[in-house]
Amino acid sequence: MDDRTFRNAMGKFATGVTVITTSVEGEPHGMTANAFMSVSLSPKLVLISIGEKARMNELIKKSGKFAVSILSEEQKEMSMIFAGQIKEKRDVDFKWMNELPVIDNALVNLTCNVHESYVAGDHTLYVGEVTDMSLADGKPLSFFEGQYKNIS
């Protein structure tokens, strides 16, 4: 099977859209990701998958912590900014939780300490222990077959 066919097959799984953030020397960094899942209730663990060549991979290794912002359907532009789909510079006003930048007005913001990390193929899987969270009402921004979707 070729890479494109595999990618198309994985695109049949509808996901939410998140922005993964961290801070190194007080400077915020972020990237859009849909490779996110909950792992455990006790302790409270989540997992993110970051490409080995992504700058975020080195930043999380350096900081030892990360945040996850689960985006609402009104935050498509925020996803596009952190996915590099919007090329012109945009200032993002982060909210800060536990010294980590998070996306304001997201459905969920989680802060995490890296609990474990595993290299798996061309990605690193980071298991994070949740240290804090905030929740808001709204509908999620979703991704299916390579396109943003709204749940109706």
CATH number of the domain within which 133 lies: 2.30.110.10
Q: 3-class SS at 98?
A: coil
Phi, psi of 130 (to 5 degrees): -70, 125
| 2, part of any domain | no
Rama region for 32: left / alpha / beta (φ>0; ψ in -120 to 50; rest): beta
- Residue 1: the pLDDT is 80
| 128, part of any domain | yes
- Residue 12: the pLDDT is 86
**What are the residue ranges in the chain where pLDDT is below 50?**
none
| 8, part of any domain | no
| 51, part of any domain | yes
Residue 116: give the domain boundaries.
Answer: 20-145
- Residue 151: the pLDDT is 72
Count: domains in the chain:
1
- Residue 91: the pLDDT is 82
Distance between CA atoms of residues 25 and 43, nearest Å: 28
Record the tokens describing residue 74, joined without a space.
Answer: 């009104």
- Residue 87: the pLDDT is 78
- Residue 73: the pLDDT is 94
- Residue 85: the pLDDT is 87
| 151, part of any domain | no
- Sequence-distant (6+) residues with CB within 8 A of 16 are 34, 36, 70, 71, 140, 141, 142, 143
pLDDT in tens, 115-144: 999 999 999 999 999 999 999 999 999 998
| 24, part of any domain | yes
- Residue 97: the pLDDT is 97
CB-based contact 68:44 (threshold 8 Å): no
Pairing label, strands 15-16, 65-70: unpaired
Q: 3-class SS at 147?
A: strand
| 4, part of any domain | no
Record the tokens describing residue 101, joined without a space.
Answer: 């930048």
| 92, part of any domain | yes
